[in-house]
Structure 1
């Protein structure tokens, strides 16, 4: 399992644990899944956020 998959799965599980039931819970799970996906992509090196921070690494 790649770090991206682990991040996405972790985000979904945490979102489901944080809110259970209804449309609001769906939105929370979607948000946590998206955050988990982004974190996984950064850890995997497939997403570089240095341009958003305004600094260049090299």
Structure 2
């Protein structure tokens, strides 16, 4: 799945959450999407949370 399609799906999900659930639901979906992004990125690249937050950590090893 390319980045444009992922962006489209995320935008539609946020739009539906905002329309049907209000601003609170919009914020909840956005926050959970960010958490999902971080977890997916960590799983894809096989790195720890420390390496994700500090990219120079991998270089120090």
TM-score of the superposed pair, with normalisation by structure 2: 0.46
TM-score of the superposed pair, with normalisation by structure 1: 0.48
Structure number with the higher helix fraction is 2
Rg larger in structure: 2
